[in-house]
Amino acid sequence: MSDTENGGVNSVDSITTDESSGLCAVCVGVPFGQMLACEGIGDLSWELGPLADVMKRDGCPLCRLVRRALFPGDGEEQSLDSKTLKLKCSIHSNLGSSWILDGPKLDIRLSGSDHGATIKPHHEDYRVWAREMVMRINIKPYAAREDEPLARPVRKTIDIPLVRSWLDDCENKHSGGCDLDIPSGNDSNTTSVAPAIFPLFLIDVGQERIVMKDSTARYVTLSYVWGQTGMLKTTEANLASMEVEGALRNRDDVPAVIRDSIDFVELLGEKYLWVDALCIIQDQDREALEACLARMDRIYNLSVFTVVAISGDSADVPLPGVQQGSRPAGPEFESIRGLRCAPTTSFLGDVARHSRFATRGWTFQDTILSKRRLFFAPDQVFFQCGRGTKSEGESGVKHVDTWDTPPVGNTFSLFECYAQLAKQYTMRFLSHESDVCRAFSGMASFLGAPGNAFPNSQPTKFVANLPEHYFLNALLWTPGGDLERRRGADGHSFPSWSWAGWKGPMGQIGPVCYDWLARFGARMIIEDGIMSCVDARLKTEQGISPVLCPQANSKRHDGPCSVCQEFSIQRHEGYQVMPLPALPLLEIWAHQTKVSQFGYSPMRTWGSSDCVHILDASDRHCGILVGASSELSRQELTEPENRLMLLGVKGVLKSIDARVLVDKYYLSLGTWCGTPDTHSDVGCIFYVMLVGKRGQVFERLAVGQIHPEAWKEVGSKLQSIVLA
C-alpha cells in the first residue's frame, strides 16, 4: 500500500480536559485519556445512565454520538419501547487486539435484567454478551495529522479519485501476490490444453454494447447474486443486436447491479466490463458452455479487478454509492475534548459473513480467483488485494481479511489448498443442485493447471470435483454435519463417493495417507462408464509391489509393517465393460470384508455426524466409522451384502502419543495401549470405507480407521467393487 497511508495509533497524550466542551454533567467525568491509552489494569468504564436519559441529552456531543451509533436512521429512536428505554448505558475501554491494529476505540454497552427489552442493531460490529449489546465507536485526536484522520467522512456517493488511487497504487507498486497469474493448462475435465489467449465477449462501457476481444484486453469483472431477476441475457438469437452501439442503453431489462457497474467502470476510466449474463452466450451448445465455465478461473484472474456486489441479494439491487441516494452519508463527527469521534463504519468480514452473496455457490470462485476486489457494502466500498484491505471510512491498511482469502502463494500444498477450498464451497447453496460441478469448475481448472503457484505440483484432472492425482486422499472426506444425497434432474447424477454427491458441509477432506494408488503413480481411467483406480497397464502384470508404511524415524514405528505387506495388491483381473451410466462409476480393486465381521457400539457425536466404535471379536475397541448422516443404522452395520473396503494406510505415533493423536484430520481411535479392552500398540492405521449394496453397484455409507491386526483377524478378500 501507499507509504503515505498508515494505520498507526495517534498519541492521546495531548487530550485536554476542557469542561466547556458542551458535555453534560454525566459525561464530563468520563476519563477519555485513560480509556484510550488503556491505562490501568482491567476494563475502564463509565455509567451514562438509562438509555431514555441519554436520548434526551441533545446538547451533549457524547450522548449524541451514542444515539447515532445505536440508531443511525432518522426518527428511529421514536419507536423504542419502554423496556428498551430502561436499559442502562455505559462506555468502556476496548482492550482487544484491534486496539493495536486499528487504533483506539471505545465500546458502548447496553445492559438490563428485563429480557423483554429489544433493540435492533444496525451496525455490523456489535456483540451480545449475556444481556449486553456492545457497539463500538472510533476515537481520533485532532492534534495528529488531520490530513490522514483515522476515520474519514464517507460521502453519499463513491469517492472515485480515492478508489482510483487504490488501484493505481496496487498496480504500480505491488510486486508478486497481487499480480499472481493463473497459467493456461489442462482443462479440468479433458486432456486438452487450454490456449494461453482465448476469445472473450466484453461490454464496451462507453458504447454500451457487446464486443468481441480476447483475454489480453484490459477489463473489469462483476460478481453478483442473480436471484430471481428476469434480466437481459445474450443468446444466439440476439447476439448480433447486442453488438450494435447503444444496445444496452436505457433498457429496463438491464438490472440495477449491471447498470451501475457499467457506470462505475466508466467513471473509473476503464473501458471494458465482463458480466456473465451478457458475456456468455447462455443457450450455446453444452460443450461450448462447459469450456467457457472451465475458463472462469482465468477470466476472473486476468481482469484488472472484480466488482463484488456483496450487499445485494439479487441483480435488482443497485451498487451502493454509484447513484445519488443509493446509500446514506457516513457518520458525522463530534468534537469531544480535542478528540475526533464517530461511530465506526462497517467491517468487511462482518458484512460478508452476513450477506447472501457469501452463501451462494456460484459466487465462491469469483472473489478467490481475482487479483483485486472492490466490495460494495451498504455504507462504503472496500478494496482488497494481496497486501491488505482499504476502505472509504478509514485511512491506512488493514490486515487482509480472512474471509475467503485465497490460500495460494503461501505455505499451503496443492492438496491442502484444494481441501480448504472444497470445504468452504460445501457450506454454500445452489439454486440448481445440478450446478455443483459447474460452479466449482473454475477452481478445478486453476488447481489442475500446471505451474499453478504450488511448488512441485503436477497437473491433474478432476472427476466429480475430486482431483485425480490426489484421488484416494480426496475420497476420504468426512461430513461436517448432517448430509443428504444430491440428486440431479434424472435422479442419478452425482456419485456417493464424492462430496459433490451430498448436500451439506464437509468436515475434513482427506488425510495424507500412503496407498497403493499413490505409490504406483497409477491413474484412474474412464472406459465405457467405468473409472478404474488401476492403470490399464497393470491388468496383465502378475505382481505389484507391496504397500509400505512410512519410513522409520525417531517418533514413528520401525520400517514396513508386516500386516500391510500381507494386504498388498498382487494382481488385477481387469474390469467388466458396462454401458455408460447416468453417473460416474468408480471401480476399485481392494481388500474387502463383510461389515458383519465386526461389532459396533455408539460413540459420542462428532458435530452433527454419527460416529460408531468398531469392536473386534473380543469387544475391544479397534476403530471408528464416521457416517454421512446423523445416524448409522443398525441395518447398515449388519446387512450381509454391505462391506468394509481397505483403501489406504498411514503411519502413526506409537505409545503414549497414540492416545492423543492418531491423525490430525480424524477423530482418534482412542487409547491402544495401557488398558485391557483395546488393541496393542500400533505403528500404522488402515483407512476403510463402508459401502452398501444398491442393485448391481455399491454406494458409500461411511469412512473410518481400523487397527491393522483387527483387520487381519477377520480375514479379507481381494476383489473388485464398483461404486456409484
Residue range 647-657: mean pLDDT, rounded: 54
Q: How far is CA 54 from CA 68, 129, 136, 716, in A?
A: 11, 21, 17, 76
Query: Is the pLDDT score of 431 beyond 90?
Result: no
At 111, is the pLDDT very low, low, confident or very high (cuts 50, 70, 90)? confident
Give the list of residues 6+ apart from residue 394 with CB closer than 8 angstroms, or none.
7, 102, 138, 150, 151, 152, 345
DSSP 546: P
Task: Write down the pLDDT at residue 451.
Answer: 59
What is the CB neighbour count within 10 angstroms for residue 261?
26
Query: Is the pLDDT score of 107 beyond 50?
Result: yes
DSSP 421: H
Task: Write down the pLDDT at residue 553.
Answer: 28
Question: Could you read off the pLDDT of 119-133 as tens digits, one per residue?
Answer: 444 443 344 333 445
d(CA 267, CA 281): 27
Phi, psi (5° rounding) for residue 342? -160, 150
DSSP 691: E
Query: Is the pLDDT score of 234 beyond 50?
Result: yes
| Positive/negative CA dihedral, 457, 462, 466, 468 | negative
Environment class of residue 536 by beta-carbon count within 10 Å: exposed (0-12), middle (13-18) or buried (19+)?
middle
Question: Could you read off the pLDDT of 461-520 as tens digits, one per residue?
Answer: 788 888 877 777 888 888 887 788 887 665 556 888 899 999 988 887 766 554 433 333
d(CA 407, CA 424): 12
At 73, is the pLDDT very low, low, confident or very high (cuts 50, 70, 90)? low
Task: Name which residue leads in pLDDT, 178 or 280.
Answer: 280
Environment class of residue 441 by beta-carbon count within 10 Å: exposed (0-12), middle (13-18) or buried (19+)?
buried
Task: Write down the pLDDT at residue 529.
Answer: 41
Q: Cell numbers of 659, please?
A: 492416545
d(CA 629, CA 458): 34
d(CA 621, CA 669): 8
What is the CB neighbour count within 10 angstroms for residue 134?
17
What is the CB neighbour count within 10 angstroms for residue 675?
11
Q: Cell numbers of 362, please?
A: 456460484
Task: Write down the pLDDT at residue 489.
Answer: 64
Which residue stretches of 12-114 are H helix?
Answer: 32-37, 51-56, 61-70, 82-85, 98-102
Question: Could you read off the pLDDT of 711-722 as tens digits, one per residue?
Answer: 889 999 888 788
Task: Write down the pLDDT at residue 631.
Answer: 61
Lowest mean pLDDT across 220-234, 410-424, 654-668: 654-668
Lowest mean pLDDT across 305-319, 394-408, 471-485, 594-608: 394-408
At 141, is the pLDDT very low, low, confident or very high (cuts 50, 70, 90)? very low
> Do 539 and 522 form a contact (C-beta atoms < 8 A)?
no
Q: What percent of the chain has pLDDT over 70?
A: 63
Residue range 212-241: mean pLDDT, rounded: 92
Task: Write down the pLDDT at residue 710.
Answer: 87
Lowest mean pLDDT across 169-183, 310-324, 511-525, 640-654: 511-525
Task: Write down the pLDDT at residue 150.
Answer: 57
Task: Write down the pLDDT at residue 473.
Answer: 80
Query: Is the pLDDT score of 217 beyond 90?
Result: yes
Query: Is the pLDDT score of 664 beyond 80?
Result: no
User: Which three-class secondary structure state does DSSP give residue 414?
Assistant: helix
Q: H or E stretch including 417?
A: helix 414-425
Whole-model pTM? 0.74
Report the b/e string of 473-482 with b at 16+ CB within 10 A: bbbbbbbbeb
Question: Could you read off the pLDDT of 525-566 as tens digits, one per residue?
Answer: 333 344 444 443 333 333 333 332 232 222 333 334 555 555
- What is the C-alpha radius of gyration for the chain, rounded to an integer number of angstroms? 30
Lowest mean pLDDT across 3-12, 37-46, 623-632, 646-655: 3-12
d(CA 488, CA 433): 6
Query: Is the pLDDT score of 617 beyond 90?
Result: no
Which residue stretches of 268-347 are H helix?
Answer: 276-279, 286-294, 296-301
d(CA 698, CA 585): 10
Query: Is the pLDDT score of 226 beyond 80?
Result: yes
Query: Is the pLDDT score of 522 beyond 80?
Result: no
Task: Write down the pLDDT at residue 245.
Answer: 96
Task: Write down the pLDDT at residue 642.
Answer: 94
DSSP 318: P
Give the list of residues 6+ apart from residue 474 with CB closer than 8 angstroms, or none.
415, 418, 419, 466, 467, 509, 510
Q: Of 117-131, 433-447, 666-680, which has the strongest mean pLDDT?
A: 433-447
Residue range 570-599: mean pLDDT, rounded: 65
Give the list of residues 6+ apart from residue 23 with CB closer than 8 angstroms, or none.
30, 60, 61, 62, 336, 337
Domain ranges of the chain: 27-141, 160-330+347-391, 461-723
Question: Could you read off the pLDDT of 455-472 as tens digits, one per residue?
Answer: 556 677 788 888 877 777
d(CA 413, CA 407): 9
Question: Could you read off the pLDDT of 678-712 as tens digits, one per residue?
Answer: 444 456 778 889 999 988 889 999 988 888 888 88
d(CA 657, CA 642): 33
Task: Write down the pLDDT at residue 714.
Answer: 92
d(CA 305, CA 164): 11
Task: Write down the pLDDT at residue 4.
Answer: 37
What torsion do the CA atoms of 58, 63, 64, 70 make, to the nearest 10 degrees? -130
At 448, is the pLDDT very low, low, confident or very high (cuts 50, 70, 90)? confident
Residue range 137-145: mean pLDDT, rounded: 45
Rounded mean pLDDT of the chain?
72
Angle at 408 between CA 407 and CA 409, to 5 degrees: 125
